Amino acid sequence: MLSIDNKAADKTGYLYGPVPSRRLGRSLGVDIVPVKVCTLDCIYCQVGRTTEKTIERKNYTDIEAVLAELKKRCAAGLKADFITISGSGEPTLHSRLGELIDGIRKITDIPVALITNGTLLYRADVRADCAKADVVLPSLDAGDEQIFQKINRPHNDISIEKLISGLCAFRNEYSGQIWLEVFLVEDVNTDSEQIAKIRDVIGRISPDKIQLNTAVRPTTEPNVKKVDIEKLQFIASQLGEKCEVVADFLPRHYDEYLKGKTEDVLSMLKRRPCTIEDICQGLNISHNEALKYITHLTKQSIIDSEKKGGAIFFKANPALKE
Ligand code: SF4
């Protein structure tokens, strides 16, 4: 029997969304590696500092539990453009990634996307697992070792050349779509010399799309500067016709999504007091996501909380009830 190597394996709620995604339309997220286990510690990460920087693949979460949750969602009429494996850490660190994708295929025809930093693609077993996905979205933020160290702060055994050779090997073996994300940070990887180096590396990898992103949301390091849209478009034009800017898409749609979900939470709490777990189950969202709405509504005094039988219940401010 396979052992589970992390306490987080006990948790339920491996799926989140569907959320509108800049790159994948309506995307149901699958989170299989706990916060914050990664091969890198990117300065722009939105999840926070890497607490376990590793290149060791492990059985981090119970794949059968993830698949059972997905089965339930599909039976309830799930509609999504992609099932996207990504989450709170680097998903290729999960030793049963290939089995997970095989399992998803048995449950649904919805295409599978995999968001990875690409650093483990030098390994044949990781490439074989990734090749099971319909679309793979790896990252490349630097054209040389110095900038790679500065922006991605990799594990000691990972170098830019290892990353690039893994991406090239994967391209040679994989017939699906590769959409390469380049995350740009002002004053770090945006000067013309660095962009020329990145362009050369992209030429070696030959992805189907190149997607430019920048720091539109809060980042791990506070001094990470967003690149403005005009400059992103200029850099996109330098990287060729397969290149597009995806950075400004999310905030617009994301804001609408957040507004809608906040209203959903509020209408639940107007009907009856609920715990965070009730909200997660009722709206099919993760604990972290529910917490975000609760915090927002509490700050505005639209809801408040009370302790009952050892649990915290949230309820709408009585003045708001119809
Ligand atoms: S690879 Fe992704 S999860 Fe890992 S540190 Fe970078 S942005 Fe965060």
- Secondary structure of residue 196 in the 3-state scheme: helix
Per-residue pLDDT reduced to its tens digit, 200-221 = 999 999 999 999 999 887 788 9
| Ligand 1 centre distance from Cα of residue 273 (Å) | 36
Q: Domain 253-320 is in which class?
A: mainly alpha
pLDDT score for 3: 33
Per-residue pLDDT reduced to its tens digit, 110-165 = 999 999 999 999 999 999 999 999 999 999 999 999 999 999 999 999 999 999 99
Q: Determine if residue 25 is left, alpha or beta; phi over 0 gives left, psi from -120 to 50 gives alpha, anything else beta.
A: left
- pLDDT-derived band at 255 (thresholds 50, 70, 90) equals low
- pLDDT-derived band at 248 (thresholds 50, 70, 90) equals low
Residue located via tokens 């494996």: 85
Q: Fold identical between 7-247 and 253-320?
A: no
Q: Which of 40, 151, 182 to mutate to test the pocket of ligand 1 (most atoms within 8 A of CB)?
A: 40
| Ligand 1 centre distance from Cα of residue 300 (Å) | 32
Report the percentage of the chain scoring pLDDT > 70: 92
pLDDT score for 301: 84
Q: Cβ distance 186 to 226 under 8 Å?
A: yes
pLDDT score for 254: 61
- The secondary structure element, H or E, covering residue 26 is strand 25-31
pLDDT score for 56: 97
Q: Which of 47, 116, 180 to mutate to test the pocket of ligand 1 (most atoms within 8 A of CB)?
A: 47
From CA 99, how far away is CA 84, in angstroms rounded?
15
User: Is 42's C-beta closer than 6 angstroms to any atom of ligand 1?
Assistant: yes
Average pLDDT, the chain: 88
User: Is 38's C-beta closer than 6 angstroms to any atom of ligand 1?
Assistant: yes
Average of per-residue pLDDT across 15-36? 86
pLDDT score for 81: 94
**Is the pLDDT score of 6 beyond 80?**
no
pLDDT score for 65: 94
Picking from 234, 233, 243, 225, the residue whose alpha carbon sits closest to that of residue 182 is 243
| Ligand 1 centre distance from Cα of residue 154 (Å) | 10
pLDDT score for 97: 97
**Is the pLDDT score of 4 beyond 50?**
no
| Ligand 1 centre distance from Cα of residue 144 (Å) | 18
Among 83-87, 191-195, 295-299, the minimum mean pLDDT is found in 295-299
- In terms of average pLDDT, the best of 114-118, 252-256, 261-265 is 114-118
- Return the amino acid letter for 315: K
CATH code given to domain 7-247: 3.20.20.70
Domain ranges in the chain?
Answer: 7-247, 253-320
User: Is 117's C-beta closer than 6 angstroms to any atom of ligand 1?
Assistant: yes
From CA 5, how far away is CA 55, in angstroms rounded?
14
